[in-house]
Copies of this chain bind each other. A is one copy, B any other.
Amino acid sequence: MSIPDRDSRDEAARYWRTSICDISPGKIAFRGYPIQELIGAVSFPAMIWLMLRGELPTADQARLLEAALVASVDHGPQAPSIAISRMAVSCGLPLNGAMASALNTLDDVHGGAGEQALGLYLDILARMDTGGALQVATASAIDTWIATHGKYLPGFGHRFHPVDPRSGKLLALVDEMVGKGVVSGRIAMAARAVESAMAERKGKLIPMNIDGATAVIYGELGFPPPLSRGVFCLSRAVGILAHAWEQSSRGERNKGPMPRSFPFLYEGSDLRAISDQMTISD
């Protein structure tokens, strides 16, 4: 209990410092709010916002975030994250483990489109902040994206849905919130400018998809791009869990990607013998 002893423990305490939660015997507070006052009083989306942003949202902000959380929960067993969750359960994993193997795959390709789309929208606004008109800023932001990342813009087009039924509803909610003064509408404007510019370039509409539309919401609400992916993980975790749970009532063991009677194709070397110089010496 001497001062030097406190020094070591203080060094360790600082090493694990946080602004998120304050915990002492009998007391738990998040961002300054005692947990017993949050329970029953704030919505789950509001709690998510508080944990990630440090302040409680208004009811309208929470409602807009909630729409994005509801929209992205699942896209069926052809999505790798969902299929992996089901396969994992059949291998014996409990629900937490199946969720881990599946969420892990929401990486740059499977989970990064929203983050990238928001980056693109913010780039347009940054170009406008330095004096560019919307159309010019959009064109140059798109050009820069394509030069850096390739021709597919994140957040637009869908390999399966000609029109994504989620996007229109999400954007309508954003517009409603713009009307109420909850958000500025600038990110939505940038996103629609991308859609228009691409339609002009391609001669056909490549409509905003779920990633592009939720990125509008996250951006309007002030979430930085990496949190687009983080919040998407919270949403998709629901579908991953639902499919894991449904799978757990089936008798399948070691479920592979295809029915067992379906072969895979081997296209490698013909059968051959091991030459002597390659074997273990003994």
Segment of A15-23, A124-132, A137-145 engaged in the interface with chain B: A15-23
Residue of B nearest to A70 (CB): B47
Segment of A185-193, A194-202, A267-275 engaged in the interface with chain B: A267-275
Q: Which residues of B contact A57 (CB under 8 A)?
A: 278
Number of copies of chain A assembled together: 4
Docked-complex contact A88 and B80, CB < 8 angstroms: yes
Among B29, B54, B258, the residue within 8 A (CB) of A257 is B258
Minimum-distance CB pairs A-B, first 5: A19-B268, A32-B269, A100-B104, A92-B109, A92-B108
7 contacts between A and B (CB under 8 A): A2-B4, A2-B5, A13-B264, A15-B258, A36-B168, A41-B274, A96-B103
Among B5, B16, B108, the residue within 8 A (CB) of A4 is B5
Q: Which residues of A from 86 to 107 have beta carbons under 8 Å from B?
A: 87-88, 90-97, 99-107
CB of A73, distance to nearest CB on chain B (Å): 6
Q: Which residues of A from 13 to 59 have beta carbons under 8 Å from B?
A: 13-23, 25-48, 51-52, 54, 56-59
Q: Which residues of B contact A9 (CB under 8 A)?
A: 8, 262-263
Q: Mark A157-179, 1 if CB is under 8 A from B, else 0.
A: 00111110110111001000000
CB of A209, distance to nearest CB on chain B (Å): 12
Q: Which residues of B contact A20 (CB under 8 A)?
A: 74, 239, 242-243, 246, 268
Judge whether A226 is part of the interface by a CB distance below 8 angstroms. Answer: yes
Query: Given A70-B44, A257-B258, does the pair A97, B95 have CB atoms closer than 8 Å?
Result: no
Docked-complex contact B26 and A229, CB < 8 angstroms: no
- Chain A: number of interface residues, binned into ranges: 35 or more
Q: Mark A208-251, 1 if CB is under 8 A from B, else 0.
A: 00000000000000000011011101100111011111101000
Q: Which residues of B contact A278 (CB under 8 A)?
A: 41-42, 46, 56-59
Cα of A229 to Cα of B99 in the assembled complex, Å: 11
Q: Which residues of B contact A229 (CB under 8 A)?
A: 94-96
